[in-house]
Amino acid sequence: MEPNTLLDSVLDEAGVSHAGLAAHVNEAGRARGMKLRYEHTAVARWLKGQRPRGQVPDLICEVLGERLHRALTLDDIGLGTPGSVRGPATPLSGFVERATALWRSDEQQRPHVVEAPAVTGTPAVIPVWEWENPPEDSDVSRRGLTRVSMTDIETLRAARAHYEQMYRKAGGVATRTRVVGFLNSEAAPLLRGAYADDTGRQLHRTTGGLVAIAGICAYDSNAHGLAQRYFHQALRLAKASGDRGLGAYVIALLVNQSLFMKEYRQAVAFAESALRAAGSQITPALAADLYAMQAKAYARLGDGAGALSCIRRAETAADRIRPGQEPDETGYVQPGLVNVQVAEALLSLGDLGGAREHAAAAVGTPAHDRGRVHRLAMLTHIELRQGEADRAGATAVEMTERARGMESQRLRDRLRAVREHLAASGSAATAEAAELIDGALRVPL
């Protein structure tokens, strides 16, 4: 079920509690000869995505509409025709209201939004299919009270770069509240503002980049359902912008999440979609990352030939990277990233020697602290597999020191995994590193 963020937003606007809505719906039902006994728990279920039966959705519109002194439709409260699928032809105004409702619910830490599980199967695939296929948005202009200027768009671009750097240094847990607050206070009013088609496309592109950062931070905070919804929003914004390269970047984020969720076939399919649909707009850096992640997925599926083919393509694309010619979003594809991805794929295929060579090359290449932690973790694991406990212990110590001060669930997962591998080695040489990791994990987020 999808959380009903529109109903949550209207409830908040109307100043009605869950218990209050239930009581008013019961009262409105009695006026129609209905015997309803809803309580606050029913409203909580509606907010999680459950659809009320019979005439109840209409009663909710009536109750909240009277409170707000305006007529509300079922679409206004997220209870439109059940089973209908939103297509790319949906007016952007409707998408904007749904998107900003999610941002508002996230900023207010609504449990039904923050704790929502990730969707799988067809609901997970539809946003990617819609991005790849027609119809395109022919005109994204909008009438509003505030005229959007290029200065506004430059502000959004600067904010994206700022929050990306904050994420790399401090982690997603600390950064998420800030980027979501910015989306609510700055980006939402602009999306509802006035702009011509060309300005609107740039606005949707820059907002899409910001929303993608919010998704990355949610992913790093273990809020996977929320992260997925942000990525789907960013993909819709990318489509509205007409920038296929941005859409391919967002799909790369979905591929990474699919790998984490062990949806390996989905990861392969999503990467193929990005590579196919973006065409000439895909940059060497992004192509390299997509092929490398495909290699990891194929390796996990036991398809050695597929993995090795993608490794070759990733390395070829990496050789063509020219940093000054890449968009801001692909800055994460730093030298050594493809090496560590390839190392992981080779490790899954049982090629310890090849994995060690690539992991060592990744560690030997300069990177920001966050990326270095992941590279050192991979090298530690390989060194342990090769029986080099002393080397592994020293590598793990460096990894732990680099991770200090970062508020990231993903990095904590990495530390725990390395801790388990160190303990399993049964070597005194790894005891110091394991103790150091224990201390780092005791620090609460």
In this prediction, what percent of the chain has a pLDDT beyond 70?
97
Three-state SS for the chain is CCCCHHHHHHHHHHCCCHHHHHHHHHHHHHHCCCCCCCCHHHHHHHHHCCCCCCCHHHHHHHHHHHHHCCCCCCHHHCCCCCCCCCCCCCCHHHHHHHHHHHHHHHHCCCHHHHCCCCCCCHHHHHHHHHHHCCCCCCCCCECCCCECCHHHHHHHHHHHHHHHHHHHHHCHHHHHHHHHHHHHHHHHHHHCCEECHHHHHHHHHHHHHHHHHHHHHHHHCCCHHHHHHHHHHHHHHHHHHCCHHHHHHHHHHHHHHHHHCCCHHHHHHHHHHHHHHHHHHCCHHHHHHHHHHHHHHHHHCCCHHHHHHHHHHHHHHHHCCCHHHCCHHHHHCCCCHHHHHHHHHHHHCCCHHHHHHHHHHHHCCCCCHHHHHHHHHHHHHHHHHCCCHHHHHHHHHHHHHHHCCCCCHHHHHHHHHHHHHHHHHCCHHHHHHHHHHHHHHCCCC
CA dihedral in degrees (156, 152, 103, 166; nearest 10)? 20
Banded model confidence at residue 88, pLDDT cuts 50, 70, 90: very low
Q: What is the pLDDT of residues 94-117, one digit of tens each?
A: 889 889 999 999 999 988 899 999
Q: What is the pLDDT of residues 167-180, one digit of tens each?
A: 999 999 999 999 99
What is the predicted pLDDT for the residue at 91? Answer: 64
Mean pLDDT, rounded, of the chain? 92
What's the whole-number mean pLDDT along residues 424-428? 85
What is the predicted pLDDT for the residue at 14? Answer: 87
Is there a contact between 291 and 313 (Cβ–Cβ < 8 Å)? yes
Residue ranges covered by each domain of the chain: 5-75, 266-361
Banded model confidence at residue 197, pLDDT cuts 50, 70, 90: very high
Banded model confidence at residue 444, pLDDT cuts 50, 70, 90: confident
Banded model confidence at residue 82, pLDDT cuts 50, 70, 90: low
In this prediction, what percent of the chain has a pLDDT beyond 90?
78
Q: Is the pLDDT of residue 90 over 60?
A: no
Q: What is the pLDDT of residues 253-285, one digit of tens each?
A: 999 999 999 999 999 999 999 999 999 999 999
